[in-house]
Structure 1
């Protein structure tokens, strides 16, 4: 037996109650964020929920998930949260310090190596690392071509 979710459309008498609760959440959430800003604390879901309990006259506060699900409150959170901005910025892949591009020895690359493993390794690199690696490879090829041409002409002398 499956149960269906009854929305406020099916129960018009709940609309007013839901509006009150949503407005209460937004009001308390914004006040909690403002309080955290004044205190100089991080704006996180947990900190907002804890601060909201201090502000709320009923002492209930708001749940961290309320911040995520309430559009107005979530937008206000995104504006003021440094941790949200750090999370967004951390999506930009930082260069791997282990891969020092100037130490690549192209002579050690084997022609029969696994292409799948190599592709997987390259997919983990950032765009800058790939460009730098490509430039080094082209320089290596150009230098070896000029050495080969010089050796080839010396053989005919």
Structure 2
């Protein structure tokens, strides 16, 4: 019984800070359209270093999908303008 009280006391007065809640990365057309060429690359690298491996994989796959869609759209417009 005393052990439970000590633990409650410990939780109440300890200086343990809770882990920050990870924010899910939202990746879509708008995110890639808003990328600026003159952005701070070091800041981008720091942000990527904070991501988990699975988040990085998801970001990369979505980036490739976006690039593939943009390439298809560009090729389609090139053929249409040629005719």
- Give the alignment's TM-score, normalised by structure 1: 0.38
Task: Give a deviation string over 1:29-83, Cα, whole Å, max 9, x none.
Answer: xxxxxxxxxx8x68xxx87xxxxxxxxxxxxxxxxxxxxxxxxxxxxxxxxxxxx
The question of whether the paired residues in 2 share the 8 Å contact of 1:122 and 1:130 is answered with: yes
Q: Which runs of 5+ in 1 are unaligned?
A: 1-38, 48-94
Per-residue deviation, 1:111: 1.0
State how many pairs are aligned.
67
1:148 Cα offset (Å): 0.2
SS state at 1:99 partner? coil
Equivalent residue runs for 1:75-90 within 5 Å = none
Helix, strand or coil: the match of 2:37?
Answer: coil
Runs of at least 5 residues in structure 2 that lack an aligned partner in the other structure: 8-20
Distance 2:82 2:52 in 1: 46
What CA distance in whole angstroms lies between the structure 1 residues aligned with 2:39 and 2:27? 21
Q: Deviations over 1:128-151 (max 9, x none)?
A: 000000000000000000000000
Structure with larger RCO (C-alpha < 8 A, sep 6+): 2
How large is the RMSD of aligned CA atoms in angstroms? 2.2
Shift of 1:112: 1.0
* 1:102 Cα deviation after fit: 3.7
| Higher CA-based Rg | 1
Deviation at 1:101, TM superposition (A): 2.9
- CA deviations on 1:2-49 (whole Å, 9 max, x unpaired) are xxxxxxxxxxxxxxxxxxxxxxxxxxxxxxxxxxxxx8x68xxx87xx
Distance 2:43 2:78 in 1: 35
| The one of 74, 77, 80 aligned to 1:148 | 74
Secondary structure, aligned partner of 2:64? helix
Question: Counterpart of 2:24?
Answer: 99
Pick the aligned partner of 2:60 from 134, 137, 140: 134
